[in-house]
C-alpha cells in the first residue's frame, strides 16, 4: 500500500468535516494519542485520522468515502481488547463506535434486547435486571468493554461452559459493509434463512464489516447461585477434580482455577479469604433452581473431597459468594501489583491435557527464568497464564514473547487452540501459521474477499498471508517439519 | 481407513471440477426431500463412518460425517450424555453429516441451543478438492473465522463435511411432561413467558387445544416446578416429544403443504388459514395450509419472521425465504469462495447457489 500523502489526509479531513461536527474528526497527534493502542499496549501506532460518528448513516458515509479513496478502516469499541485487534494503521482511519451508547429496546416478552454497539456489556444486564433477565457472556472487562467489540471478538467469560460464548447469545446484527451498505444478519428469531452469517461475523475481528447494532438474547436470572471453594496441595489434583465434576453429570455455571502465585497475589490485593498455602484452588459456581443447586452442591462437595481437596468451603451467603468471585475477577490487576509488567496468554486445551500442560509450563518458566501465575477457566479448558516480567530489563520482553509463543504452540500440540476468547489480532498472527495449513488460510482469505475484496477492513490482522507464514516458518521449524513447504522461500 | 476414503472423495471432487460435473451429497438419504430439488451425481459418504474420539469428561464427540446418528446417540446414552439440540432423524439412516448440514433442531432448541450452537469443529472438503480443518475439539476457540458453524444449515452447498466435533451434555436425571387444555392466545402467553422464568422447562408445544410443557432436571427441581405450572402429567408411553420431533403426530399426517414459520415467540396467532402446531415456546410454528406462497411469506414477514416451505408442493421453486439483494450477493460470493465451480448440491438451497 502506498504511503499516505498529506494531500490524501487533507482530502479525507475535508470530506469528513462536511459530514461530522469538528470535534468528531481528530487529526492532531495529541488527539490521536488515546487511540494508539488497545488493551495490549506493547503494540502502539498512531492512526492517520480518528472519526467518531453517532449515526448509522454517518458510518455508511464514512465507509463510502474511505472505500472510494481506498483507505483502510479499523473499527474500535472501548479498546479493551487483549490481542491488538484494534491497533490503528498509520495510513488508515480509526472508526470509533464510542458514541453508539443507547440501549434501543428491551423486550422481556421475547427475552431479547437491541442495543447500539458502544453499549457496555454490563449495562445490558443492568438494564434487563428490572425484568429478572440478564445477558450471559461476562468477560472480565465487562464494566468497560462494549457489545460491538464482544461480537467482533466472540468474547467469553467465566460462564461459557454452561451458557456459551457471544456467538450463542446473539440473534441479529446490523452491519455496514466496506462499500457502505447496511445489511441485517440473523433476525429477531431463533434462526434465519440462508447461511449462518451470524456465526461467521461473530469473532471476525472487524475484518468483514462494521457492527452498528446488536440484538442479544436474554436469560432468566437463576433462582439461586452458589459457589464452592476447594483448596488443593497439588495442581494436578485440582485438574483431575475438574474432570471428575463433569463426569458426575454436572455442568457448573463457572469453574475457575488459580495457582499459588495467583492465589497469593489476589489474597494480598482483595482479601478474598483464599487459603494462602494452597497450591491451587477451584471455584465452582452452581446455578439453577433452589432444589437443583442444593443437590449439586452436595455432589460437588463429595467429588472434591474424593479428588483430594484439602479444604472445601461453600459461600455462606451472597456477600461471601461475591468476595470469592472478587478474588478471581481481580486476579489480573492483583498480579499487576507484584510485577512491573505481565503478559496474558489465552490458549485452550482439552481438559484432560491440563496436568501435562501445567508441568510443561512450569519447566519453561524455569528455562526462561520468568515466573508464571496461572488463572484458568478450567471448565472449558481456557488457560490464562500470566507471564511476569519487567519491560525495563533489556531482553525481558523478547524472552517473555518467546515464552508466550511456546505456550501457544504447546496448546496446539495437545489438540487445543492459540486463542480461546481474546482473538488473534496482531499478537498471535504468526501462531496462526502453526495452527492452520495453507489451504485453510487461503480459505479464510477467500471468505474475507467475499465481504471485502480490496482488504480495506482491518487489514493485516487475524489471518496471516501465506508469505508471512513462509517467512515465519523459515525462522521457526516446528517439530522438524517446515510448514508450508510448497511455498517459495524469499 | 478414513484417510483412504478422504483421498478417494478428494480425487472424485478434483476430477468433477475438471469435467464440469455436479454432485448431490448423500449420507443416509433420510432428508433427501428437504430443500429444493437438486440434480447431480450421488456422492455417497455413508462409508465414511465411525466415532473417532469420545471422552465423556471432555463433553466432546468427534465422528466421521457418515456415522449414523443412532450410533452417536446410543454411544452418548451409555455415558449418560446426549446431543442437547435433540436432532430430528426423519428416517432410520440419518447421519451426523446430514444432521449438521440441514441444521435442524428438535423441541429442546430454545432452551439448550441449536445444532450449530453445538458444533465445535469440522473437517471439510471444499470444491477445489482441498481437505481443511476448522475449529477443533475445545469449547472455546476464536482462531480464524467460524467456518465450522457456517456449515450448519448450509445444505452441503459449501463443501463435503468429512468429520465433525460436537459438544455434548449430560442427560437430565428426571423429566416430566404436563398437559392442559388451552387456546392459542393463552398458550402463546404461557409458553413464551416461560422463556423468561427460571424454571427447568425444556420443551413447550401447543396444538389441537392442548398445551404441553416438558420439565427436565434434578428430580426435586422437576417436582417443585410441577407445582408452579398447570396440567396433568402425561404418560411417558405417549412418546410425545419424539413423535413431535419426527413429525409423527397426527397433525403432520396431512397432504397439504407444510410450512415452517419462525417468529418472535410472543407473536400473536398469525392470520393465516390452515392448521397450526406451535413448538419452541411459540418461536417455531408449523402450518399446514393451501394458502399461496406470497400470502404466507408476506404475513410471516409482517410478524418479523420468515417462512420455509418444509414439505410438499413445488420443490423447484423458492422453498426457502428469498434473501434481500445485498445478502443474496454475499451468499453467492461466499459459495464461490468455497466451491468456485459450483460442484456441490447445486440449487438445493437457492437456485443461484
Q: What is the ipTM of this complex?
A: 0.97
Phi-psi label, residue A240: left if phi above 0, alpha if psi -120 to 50, beta otherwise: alpha
Cα of first residue to Cα of last residue in chain B, in angstroms, is: 33
Closest CA of chain B from A6, distance in Å: 35
Write down the CATH number for the domain with range B2-170: 3.30.465.10
User: How far is the C-alpha of A433 from the C-alpha of B70, rounded, in Å?
Assistant: 38
Cα B168 to Cα B62: distance, rounded to the nearest angstrom:
10
**Residues A204 and A461: beta-carbon distance below 8 Å:** no
Using a CB-CB distance cutoff of 8 angstroms, which residues of chain B are in contact with residue A172? none
Contact check, Cβ <8 Å, B57/A110: no
Of B109, B134, B338, the CB nearest to A190: B109
Answer yes or no: are the C-beta atoms of A74 and A92 closer than 8 Å: yes
Chain B, residues 129-148, CB within 8 A of chain A, namely 130-134, 136-147
How many Å apart are CA A342 and CA A363, to the nearest integer?
Answer: 18
As a whole number of angstroms, the distance between CA A68 and CA A90 comes to 18
Cα distance between the two ends of chain A: 20
**Is B196 in contact with A160 (Cβ distance < 8 A)?**
no
> Long-range contacts: B244-250, Cβ < 8 Å, 24+?
B244/B106, B244/B107, B244/B205, B244/B279, B245/B86, B245/B88, B245/B106, B245/B107, B246/B88, B246/B89, B246/B90, B247/B88, B247/B90, B247/B311, B249/B207, B249/B277
Q: What is the mean pLDDT of chain A?
A: 93
Whether residue B142 and residue A440 make contact (CB cut-off 8 A), yes or no, is no
Q: Is the pLDDT of residue A486 over 90?
A: no
CA distances from B39 to A255, B10, B346 (A): 50, 20, 7
Whether residue B217 has pLDDT greater than 80: yes
Q: What is the pLDDT of residue A488?
A: 45
**Model pLDDT, residue A489:** 40
Distance CA A446, CA A162 (A): 33
Predicted local distance difference test score (pLDDT) of residue A140: 86
Q: What angle do CA B229, B231, B236 make, to 5 degrees?
A: 110
Q: Write out the E strands in A82-122.
A: 93-96, 103-107, 112-115
DSSP label at residue A204: -
Residue ranges of B 101-120 with Cβ closer than 8 A to chain A: 103, 109-110, 113-114, 116-117
Nearest to B140 among A208, A382, A428 (CB): A382
d(Cα A48, Cα B158) in Å, to the nearest integer? 39
Is B338 within 8 Å of A153 when comparing Cβ atoms?
Answer: no
* Closest residue in B to A195 (Cα–Cα): B154
B 159-198 residues inside an 8 A Cβ radius of A: 169-171, 173, 192-193, 195-198
Q: What integer is the mean pLDDT of A14-30?
A: 97
Interface contact flag, A295 B262, Cβ < 8 Å: no
Task: Provide the pLDDT for residue B86.
Answer: 98
Chain A contacts in chain B segment 226-255 (CB below 8 A): none
Total length of chain B: 353
What is the rounded average pLDDT of the residues A241-253? 95
By the 8 A CB rule, do A11 and A52 touch? no
CA–CA distances in Å: residue A49 to residues A19, A95, B92: 15, 9, 61
When pLDDT is averaged across residues B282-309 and rounded to a whole number, the result is 97
Determine the 3-state secondary structure of A488 from DSSP.
coil
What pLDDT digit, counting tens, does each position of B117-173 carry? 999 999 999 999 999 999 999 999 999 999 999 999 999 999 999 999 999 999 999
- Residues A32, A38, A44, A50: what is their CA dihedral angle, to the nearest 10 degrees? -20
Q: For residue A388, which of A372, A374, A408 has the smallest C-alpha distance?
A: A372
Percent residues over pLDDT 90 in chain A: 90
d(CA B274, CA B288): 6
Instruction: Please check the confidence at residue A485 and state whether its pLDDT lies above 60.
Output: no
DSSP A304-347: HHHTT-SEEEE-SSHHHHHHHHHHHHTHHHHHHHHSSEEEE---
pLDDT of residue B2: 59
Tell me phi and psi for residue A397, to 5 degrees.
-60, -45
Res A97: pLDDT: 98
pLDDT surpasses 60 at A482: no
Torsions phi, psi for A457 (to 5 deg): -95, 115
Coil vs helix vs strand at A237: helix
Q: CB–CB of B167/B224 below 8 Å?
A: no
Q: Are A50 and A96 in contact (CB under 8 A)?
A: yes
How, if at all, do strands B160-167 and B119-125 pair?
Answer: antiparallel
Please report which confidence band the pLDDT of residue A2 belongs to, taking 50, 70 and 90 as the band edges.
very low
What's the average model confidence in pLDDT over B30-36?
Answer: 96
- How many angstroms separate the CA of residue B145 from the nearest CA in chain A? 6
Average pLDDT over residues A288-317: 96
pLDDT reported for residue A481 = 53
**Average pLDDT in the B201-206 region?**
98
CA distance A490 to A484: 13
Q: Which residue has the cell 434473501?
A: B323
Average pLDDT for B63-76: 98
Average pLDDT over residues A229-247: 94
Instruction: Report the run of H or E that residue A440 belongs to, with start and end.
Output: helix A438-451
Query: Per-residue pLDDT averaged across A426-446, rounded?
Result: 95
Name the pLDDT band for A480 (thresholds 50, 70, 90): very low
- Which grid cell is B332? 453467492
Tell the CATH topology of B172-253.
Alpha-Beta Plaits (3.30.70)
Flag whether pLDDT at A260 surpasses 90.
yes
Cβ distance A296 to B218 less than 8 Å, yes or no, reads yes
Nearest Cβ partner for A223 among B198, B306, B337: B198
User: The sheet that has A49-51: what strands, in order across it?
Assistant: A25-26, A49-51, A93-96, A73-76
Residue (of B322, B215, B305) closest to B268 by Cα position: B305
Percentage of chain A exceeding pLDDT 70: 96
CA distance A7 to chain B (A): 33
Q: Which of B163, B230, B165, B160 is nearest to B199 (CA)?
A: B230
Q: Tell me which residues of chain B, numbers 280 to 319, contact chain A at a CB-CB cutoff of 8 Å.
A: 280, 283-284, 304-306, 308
- The pLDDT assigned to B35 comes to 96
Copy the grid coordinates of residue A343: 503478559
The whole-angstrom separation of Cα B202 and Cα B225 is 12
CB contact under 8 A, A131 and B196: yes
pLDDT at residue A329 tops 90: no
Amino acid at each position: 500500500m502506498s504511503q499516505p500523502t498529506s494531500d490524501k489526509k487533507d482530502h479525507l479531513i475535508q470530506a469528513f468535516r462536511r459530514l461530522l461536527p469538528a470535534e468528531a474528526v481528530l487529526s492532531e497527534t495529541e488527539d490521536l494519542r488515546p487511540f494508539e493502542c488497545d488493551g495490549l499496549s506493547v503494540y502502539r501506532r498512531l492512526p492517520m485520522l480518528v472519526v467518531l460518528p453517532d449515526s448509522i448513516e454517518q458510518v455508511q458515509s464514512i465507509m463510502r468515502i474511505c472505500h472510494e479513496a481506498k483507505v483502510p478502516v479499523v473499527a474500535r469499541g472501548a479498546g479493551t481488547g487483549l490481542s491488538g485487534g484494534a491497533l490503528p494503521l498509520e495510513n488508515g482511519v480509526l472508526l470509533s463506535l464510542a458514541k453508539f451508547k443507547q440501549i434501543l429496546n428491551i423486550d422481556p416478552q421475547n427475552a431479547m434486547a437491541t442495543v447500539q454497539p458502544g453499549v457496555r456489556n454490563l449495562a445490558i444486564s443492568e438494564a434487563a435486571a428490572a425484568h429478572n433477565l440478564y445477558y450471559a457472556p461476562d468477560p472480565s472487562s465487562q464494566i468497560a468493554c462494549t457489545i460491538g467489540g464482544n461480537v467482533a471478538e466472540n468474547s467469553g467469560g467465566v460462564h461459557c461452559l454452561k451458557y456459551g460464548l457471544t456467538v450463542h447469545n446473539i440473534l441479529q446484527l446490523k452491519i455496514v459493509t466496506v462499500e457502505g451498505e447496511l445489511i441485517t444478519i440473523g433476525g429477531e428469531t431463533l434462526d434465519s434463512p440462508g447461511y449462518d452469517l451470524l456465526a461467521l461475523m461473530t469473532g471476525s475481528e472487524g475484518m468483514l464489516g462494521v457492527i452498528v447494532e446488536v440484538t442479544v438474547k436474554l436469560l432468566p436470572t437463576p433462582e439461586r447461585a452458589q459457589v464452592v471453594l476447594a483448596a488443593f496441595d497439588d495442581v494436578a489434583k485440582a485438574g483431575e477434580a475438574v474432570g471428575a465434576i463433569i463426569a458426575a453429570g454436572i455442568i457448573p455455571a463457572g469453574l475457575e482455577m488459580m495457582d499459588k502465585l495467583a492465589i497469593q497475589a489476589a489474597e494480598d490485593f482483595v482479601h478474598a479469604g483464599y487459603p494462602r498455602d494452597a497450591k491451587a484452588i477451584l471455584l465452582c459456581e452452581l446455578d439453577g433452581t433452589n432444589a437443583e443447586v442444593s443437590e449439586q452442591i452436595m455432589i460437588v462437595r463429595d467429588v472434591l473431597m474424593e479428588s483430594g481437596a484439602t479444604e472445601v468451603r461453600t459461600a455462606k451467603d451472597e456477600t461471601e459468594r461475591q468476595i470469592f468471585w472478587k478474588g478471581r475477577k481481580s486476579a489480573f490487576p492483583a498480579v499487576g501489583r507484584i510485577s512491573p509488567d505481565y503478559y496474558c496468554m489465552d490458549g485452550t486445551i482439552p481438559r484432560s491435557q491440563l496436568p501435562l500442560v501445567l508441568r510443561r509450563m512450569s519447566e519453561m518458566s524455569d528455562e526462561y527464568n520468568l515466573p508464571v501465575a496461572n488463572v484458568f477457566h478450567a471448565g472449558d479448558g481456557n488457560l490464562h497464564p500470566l507471564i511476569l516480567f519487567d519491560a525495563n530489563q533489556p531482553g525481558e520482553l523478547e524472552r517473555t514473547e518467546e515464552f508466550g509463543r511456546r505456550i501457544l504452540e504447546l496448546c496446539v500440540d495437545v489438540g487445543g487452540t492459540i486463542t480461546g476468547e481474546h482473538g488473534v489480532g496482531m499478537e498471535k498472527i504468526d501462531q496462526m501459521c502453526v495452527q492452520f495449513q495453507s489451504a485453510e488460510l487461503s480459505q479464510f482469505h477467500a471468505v474475507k474477499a467475499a465481504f471485502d475484496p480490496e482488504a480495506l477492513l482491518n487489514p493485516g490482522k487475524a489471518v496471516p498471508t501465506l508469505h508471512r507464514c513462509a517467512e515465519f516458518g523459515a525462522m521457526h521449524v516446528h517439530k522438524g517439519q517446515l510448514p508450508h513447504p510448497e511455498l517459495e522461500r524469499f | 481407513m478414513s484417510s483412504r476414503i478422504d483421498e478417494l472423495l478428494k480425487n472424485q471432487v478434483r476430477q468433477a471440477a475438471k469435467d464440469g460435473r455436479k454432485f448431490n451429497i448423500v449420507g443416509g438419504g433420510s432428508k433427501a426431500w428437504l430443500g429444493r430439488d437438486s440434480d447431480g451425481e450421488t456422492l455417497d459418504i455413508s462409508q465414511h463412518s465411525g466415532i473417532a474420539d469420545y471422552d465423556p469428561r471432555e463433553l466432546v464427540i468427534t465422528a466421521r460425517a457418515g456415522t449414523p446418528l443412532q450410533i452417536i446417540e446410543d454411544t452418548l446414552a451409555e455415558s449418560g450424555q446426549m446431543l442437547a439440540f435433540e436432532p430430528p432423524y426423519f428416517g432410520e439412516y440419518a447421519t451426523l453429516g446430514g444432521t449438521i448440514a440441514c441444521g435442524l433442531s428438535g423441541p429442546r432448541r430454545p432452551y439448550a441451543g441449536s445444532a450449530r450452537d453445538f458444533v465445535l469443529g469440522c473437517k471439510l472438503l471444499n470444491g477445489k478438492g482441498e481437505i481443511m480443518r476448522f475449529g477443533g475439539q475445545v469449547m472455546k476457540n476464536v482462531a480464524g473465522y467460524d467456518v465450522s458453524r457456517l456449515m450448519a444449515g448450509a445444505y452441503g452447498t459449501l463443501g463435503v463435511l468429512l468429520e465433525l466435533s460436537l459438544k455434548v451434555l449430560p442427560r437430565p436425571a428426571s423429566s416430566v411432561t404436563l398437559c392442559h387444555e388451552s387456546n392459542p392466545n393463552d398458550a402463546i402467553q404461557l409458553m413464551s413467558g416461560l422463556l423468561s422464568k427460571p424454571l427447568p422447562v425444556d420443551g413447550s408445544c401447543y396444538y389441537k387445544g392442548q398445551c404441553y410443557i416438558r420439565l427436565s432436571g434434578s428430580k426435586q427441581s422437576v417436582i417443585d416446578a410441577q407445582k408452579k405450572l398447570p396440567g396433568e402429567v402425561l404418560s411417558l408411553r405417549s412418546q410425545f416429544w419424539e413423535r413431535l420431533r419426527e413429525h409423527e403426530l397426527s397433525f403432520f399426517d396431512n397432504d397439504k403443504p407444510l410450512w415452517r414459520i419462525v417468529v418472535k415467540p410472543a407473536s400473536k396467532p398469525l392470520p393465516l388459514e390452515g392448521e397450526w402446531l406451535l413448538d419452541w415456546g411459540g418461536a417455531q410454528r408449523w402450518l399446514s395450509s393451501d394458502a399461496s406462497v406470497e400470502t404466507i411469506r408476506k404475513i410471516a414477514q409482517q410478524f418479523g419472521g420468515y417462512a420455509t416451505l418444509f414439505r410438499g408442493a413445488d420443490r423447484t421453486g423458492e422453498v426457502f425465504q428469498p434473501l434481500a439483494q445485498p445478502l443474496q450477493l454475499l451468499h453467492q460470493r461466499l459459495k464461490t469462495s468455497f466451491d468456485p465451480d459450483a460442484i456441490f448440491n447445486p440449487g438445493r438451497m437457492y437456485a443461484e447457489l
